[in-house]
Structure 1
Amino acid sequence: MPALLSVLGLGSPRNHQSSHYLDNNTNPDILAEKLDTMGSANITKAQMIALSILDTHKQLKKLPTYQPGEEINRLLGNLVHTCVQIHPPSVIQQILNFPGLQQILSSLRTICSEAESCLETHWAEHTLALAAHQGHETVLKALQTDFPYFQNYIDLARLELSAIRAALPPNNTAPLKKITFIGSGPLPLTSWCLLDEIRKTSSPNDTIPIICNIDMSPTAIDVSSQLNGALGPWGEGMKFLCGEAGSSSISLEDSDVVYIAALVGLSQEDKEEIFLKVVRTMRPGALLVVRSAWGLRTCLYPEVNVTTERLLGVLECCAVVHPFTDVVNSVVVARVRG
């Protein structure tokens, strides 16, 4: 989710936005109409948040494109800011149970997914254009400085790497040799930041794993591969492959860890089918890392359950970590059963 957060850089030290749930641009006529329907002038905090989410969805659906721009930046920025706030469980349930909210979640998540894809493509092309005229040090510095939420990728990579290491058997001294990221997209910042974190936290003589990035889009693989080459030493240790998750043409038997990106499948049912296909090509004992969500963050991404009857037959859940920071995605680590 860091890419979606980066639309406005909300929560960044450089941005001090108000914590109000409805900004001054919210259409008062729309809210008044909804409040009349509720039949009460005494609106609670939970109702106010729910109305804000519903109104944002309505405005997003009117946009002709989800390419980065002033209007979509404002709408998605406010939405993400609202959804990462921490509330008591009772308040969260009141919001999620608000009339009509559950009915729009599938549509809202789809919009967020499309907007994030557009954002990644925009920044990948922007950085690649810069690379045509600048050296790799300048390109890397520009990416780290200009991309508003680069730090979120670093924070997420640290969180996920800690969960991965915690899930490894205590008597396992073998280093990770290969990590595969399925659904890497045109801007594989997770892979870059994860590999960088591994380098920083490894001993000089430790083996550094290769990260193989897989995406079903030839364009995404072409762009990300070119961009990786433009990053010089920071991009070393990365491979790129075009293919579909779970395809018989892609073997994952030599992967110690397999990531499945948050945008791969937008429902529990879709994700479960993908997990089953992927796990069939993995070796027993390897780790599957997937991204989930909790609380109001489920308005942006679905909560992923790896303890369903079918998945428990092939996966052993090792850890579920929920961030209470600006990082949106939770991390789930599961071990492939023998």
Structure 2
Amino acid sequence: MPALLSVLGLGSPRNQSAHYLSNANQQTLDILAEKVDIMGSAKIAKAQKIALNILDTHDQLKKLPNYRPGDDINRLLGCLVRTCVQIHPPSVIQQILEFPGLQQMLPSLRTICSEAESCLENHWAQHTLSLADQGPDAVLNALQIDFPYFQNYVDLARLELSAIRAAMSPSDTNALKKITFIGSGPLPLTSWCLLDEIRQTCSSTDNIPTITNIDMSPTAIDVSSRLNAVLGPWGEGMEFVCGEAGSCSISLADSDVVYVAALVGLSQEDKEEIFLNVVRTMRPGALLVIRSAWGLRTCLYPEVSVNTERLLEVLQPCAVVHPYTDVVNSVVVARVRE
């Protein structure tokens, strides 16, 4: 009742509250109290419905023979993403994420989403590469027009570039010469979109960096490099290297910014080990860009923190940006300590 009285404005000074209470109709108070209970019950019912929907989608996904693009996988993942990017009050999100069985299911769901994303990239990389004999325009149109999630990559690249520039000092902004993307995959759309955004926003061509794409899969590097070669001017400024993140065979000492893709490591613990290995080969002052998630989006990707004891020893957090749009990933930018 004290909380209800506060909502009704009955917790005011004593000389006023006595007046209100003496004139308040008890029946009216009971009705208002019932409405508050109904509103609370409605929020709980909404949270339960969303949680059950996520659990049911996971069950249906597990029954699929594979996660290559097709009607069933497209429908299920499309509904899942639309559910997870919706904005809710923190109390509702907490109720959803605390629903019985949901936390235990999340590692499996994230693994499925990771495999499905890899299948999607492979499918579209092969599809666009099959158009190579039709010229750069046909290949570029397949990516920019036919690929259903192209605008999401554009929006995410803009968000990340803004966060990168905000983390750089004014004297460093014009010194962005090399960006490295670890875990670029067969379809390095982030690198292409990021480089294209830099070209459009830089006043001089002298300030256009080179982007080096690194992946441990020889097939991914072969496909992406061949695809890049047939993109014409849109693919200029890209390099491709096959290797493992943080290995001694790959030096990141000349990179101003190093990206770690969202699919590199599927848990905080895995990612933390990778970040530590990567940072060891970076120069002090360089920026590490990490993809994370917030709210219900953590059903698709794990939330990543750089505020752990080990990471804070080598990284200085600079920015964390959470999108409230259809973009799924959050961006974390941290500076390598001196």
Distance 1:331 1:43, change over 3 A: closer
Which residue in the other structure is 1:326 paired with? 326
Aligned to 2:93: 92
Match in the other structure for 1:28: none
Shift of 1:142: 2.3
**Matched position secondary structure for 1:158:** helix
Judged with a 3 Å threshold, the aligned counterparts in structure 2 of structure 1 residues 172 and 85 are, in CA distance, closer, same or farther, namely same
Output one character per residue of 1:144-186: Cα deviation in whole Å (capped at 9) or x when no partner.
Answer: 1100111111100000000000000244354201000000000
1:311 and 2:311 correspond: yes
Query: Contact 1:84–1:326 (CA<8 Å) still a contact in 2?
Result: yes
Does 1 or 2 have the higher relative contact order (CA < 8 Å, sep 6+)?
A: 1
Letter of the structure 2 residue corresponding to residue 120 of structure 1: E
Q: Deviations over 1:178-199 (max 9, x none)?
A: 0000000000000000000000
Secondary structure in 2 matching 1:334: strand
Distance 1:224 1:231 in 2: 11
Paired position in structure 2 for 1:283? 283
| CA deviation vs aligned residue, 1:95-130 (integer Å, no higher than 9, x gap) | 000000000000000000000000000000000001
- Give the distance between the partners of 1:221 and 1:42, measured in 2 at CA: 48
- Listed as ranges, the gaps of 5+ residues in structure 1 are 1-39
Alignment of 1:155-194 (within 5 A): 155-172=155-172, 174-194=174-194
**What letter corresponds to residue 194 of structure 2 in structure 1?**
L
Residue 60 of structure 1 contacts residue 72 of structure 1 at CA under 8 Å; is this kept in 2?
yes
What one-letter code is carried by the residue in structure 2 that aligns with 1:45?
K
Instruction: Report the Cα distance in structure 2 between the residues aligned to 1:258 and 1:142, rounded to whole angstroms.
Output: 28
- TM-superposed CA distance for 1:139, in Å, is 1.4
- Aligned to 1:165, what secondary structure does the other structure show? helix
Residue 110 of structure 2 aligns with an amino acid whose one-letter code is R
Asked whether the equivalents of residues 50 and 98 of structure 1 are also in contact (C-alpha less than 8 Å), the reply is: yes
User: How has the CA–CA distance of structure 1 residues 41 and 183 changed in structure 2, closer, same or farther, with 3 Å as cutoff?
Assistant: closer
TM-score, length basis structure 2: 0.86
Distance 2:171 2:144 in 1: 37
Is the 8 Å Cα contact of residues 174 and 207 (structure 2) preserved in structure 1?
no
Q: Percent identity?
A: 82
C-alpha change, 1:104 and 1:171, in structure 2 (3 Å) is: same
Classify the secondary structure of the residue corresponding to 2:144: helix
- Say if 1:66 and 1:115, in contact at 8 Å, map to a contact too: yes
Task: Give the 5 Å matches for 1:1-338.
Answer: 44-131=45-132, 133-172=133-172, 174-338=174-338
- Deviation at 1:206? 3.5
Q: Which moved more, 1:223-232 or 1:170-179?
A: 170-179
Counterpart in the other structure of 2:9: none
Kept after mapping to 2: 8 A contact 1:289/1:331: yes
More helix by percentage: 2
Question: Is the 1:124–1:224 Cα contact (8 Å) retained in structure 2?
Answer: yes
Deviation at 1:259, TM superposition (A): 0.1
Say which is worse superposed, 70-79 or 323-332, in terms of deviation.
Answer: 70-79
How many angstroms does 1:207 deviate by?
2.0
- Check conservation: 1:175, 1:206, Cα contact below 8 A: no
Secondary structure of 1:162's counterpart equals helix
In structure 2, stretches of 5+ residues that fail to align are 1-40
Please report the TM-score for the alignment, with normalisation by the length of structure 1: 0.86
**Judging changes above 3 Å, is the alpha-carbon distance between structure 1 residues 204 and 42 closer, same or farther for their aligned structure 2 residues?**
closer
Residues 44 and 95 in structure 2, CA contact (< 8 A), matched pair in contact too: no
Bigger CA drift: 54-63 or 181-190? 54-63
Provide the C-alpha distance between the structure 2 equivalents of 1:118 and 1:183, rounded to a whole number of angstroms: 15
1:41/1:303 CA distance change after superposition, 3 Å: closer
The alpha-carbon deviation at position 43 of structure 1 amounts to: 6.8
Residue 112 of structure 1: SS of its match in structure 2?
helix
- Name the SS of the counterpart of 1:172 in structure 2: helix
What whole-Å deviation, never above 9, does each CA across 1:3-51 have from its counterpart, x for those lacking one?
Answer: xxxxxxxxxxxxxxxxxxxxxxxxxxxxxxxxxxxxx999700000000
With over 3 angstroms needed to count, the CA separation of the structure-2 counterparts of 1:189 and 1:41, relative to structure 1, is closer
Cα deviation, residue 263, structure 1: 0.1
Which moves more between the two structures, 196-205 or 228-237? 196-205
Q: Which moved more, 1:118-127 or 1:146-155?
A: 146-155
How far did 1:72 drift?
Answer: 0.8
SS in 1 for 2:207: coil
Describe the superposition over 1:62-107 as per-residue Cα deviations: whole angstroms up to 9, x where unpaired: 1110111111111111101100000000000000000000000000
Tell me the amino acid that sits aligned with residue 314 of structure 2. Answer: V
Mapped contact 2:54–2:80 kept (Cα < 8 A): yes
Instruction: Answer with 165-174 or 221-230: which moved more.
Output: 165-174
